[in-house]
Amino acid sequence: MSGARVRIGCSGWQYQSWREILYPKGLAQRNWLRRYSEVFDTVEVNATFYRLAKPASVAGWLEQTPPDFLFTIKGSQYLTHMKRLLDLEQGPGRFFDSIAPALGTPKMGPVLWQLPPNFKRDDARLEAWLSTVTGPGSLGGPELRHAVEFRHESWFVPEVYGILHAHGAALVLAHDGRRDEPFPHEVTAEWSFVRLHYGARGRRGNYAEPELRDLAARVRELSAHGDVLTYFNNDWEGFAVRNGQRLQRLLASGA
């Protein structure tokens, strides 16, 4: 691989099903993030999608993780699913205030904005949103990165990729084996963001070995364009943990 930084992690860490898979028997839940960060160097925080974080909790996350750890923060569903990117005034400010302790620190990764499946392409709305949250004077700061996950097919067109590129935002390269949809290839920023929701060839959403080898090849290709963040979202039965660790080994070995 190139000199780009490749990070592999999971979408969240607070899963009871990970007991005795990642978390040793008897390990208190308050120590789970610390244990998680011994195995993975990044995490996607999904709790912020459902409710605003408490700044004190965010400060605690920073204290519990190593200096080189990275947090991706998922944007509020109130902004993406209810307001559908139309709240350009109060909503973004409240969201960024809730994660303020992480903003501007080396541990702050991108913000992930996941749009609902029934949200069809609207270039003007996307442009206005990205103009609000990115660049000089933006609420999260000019250095904060952003990634957008589209789930309606109408968004996957060159014009939309151009809007993302103009704002330095990454198109989320998402895979879900339950859907007959192509795995996007386009790179719109100087870094890449991969989300893996559900394996197509393994049991109950687990990623099978051939899929993981294909993913390793894809991540290597993406690393030629810059840093790569990859998150497994198939948390049930510990699949995300096992798949993430296996992908780590494949990348390390060059297999």
In angstroms, rounded to a whole number, what is the distance separating the alpha carbons of residues 172 and 195? 7
**What share of the chain in percent tops pLDDT 70?**
98
pLDDT confidence of residue 15: 96
Domain ranges of the chain: 6-253
The CATH number that domain 6-253 falls under is 3.20.20.410
Supply φ then ψ for residue 22, to 5 degrees: -110, -35
In angstroms, rounded to a whole number, what is the distance separating the alpha carbons of residues 72 and 93? 18
- The stretch 98-121 carries a mean pLDDT of 97
Under the banding of pLDDT at 50, 70 and 90, the label for residue 255 is: low
Whether the Cβ atoms of residue 146 and residue 170 lie closer than 8 Å to each other: yes
| pLDDT at residue 135 tops 90 | no
DSSP code per residue over 150-161 = --SGGG-SHHHH
| pLDDT at residue 92 tops 70 | yes
DSSP code per residue over 52-109 = PPPHHHHHHHHHHS-TT-EEEEEPPHIIIIISTT---SHHHHHHHHHTTTTTTSTTEE
**What share of the chain in percent tops pLDDT 90?**
88
- pLDDT tens by residue, 207-239: 999 999 999 999 999 999 999 999 999 999 999
Average pLDDT, the chain: 94
| pLDDT at residue 2 tops 70 | no
| pLDDT at residue 181 tops 80 | no
Q: What pTM value is reported for the model? A: 0.95
Under the banding of pLDDT at 50, 70 and 90, the label for residue 243 is: very high
Whether the Cβ atoms of residue 241 and residue 12 lie closer than 8 Å to each other: no
- pLDDT tens by residue, 41-66: 999 999 999 999 999 999 999 999 99
pLDDT confidence of residue 1: 44
In angstroms, rounded to a whole number, what is the distance separating the alpha carbons of residues 95 and 51? 9
Cα–Cα distances (Å) from 21 to 14, 18, 47, 207, in that order, read: 13, 5, 21, 17
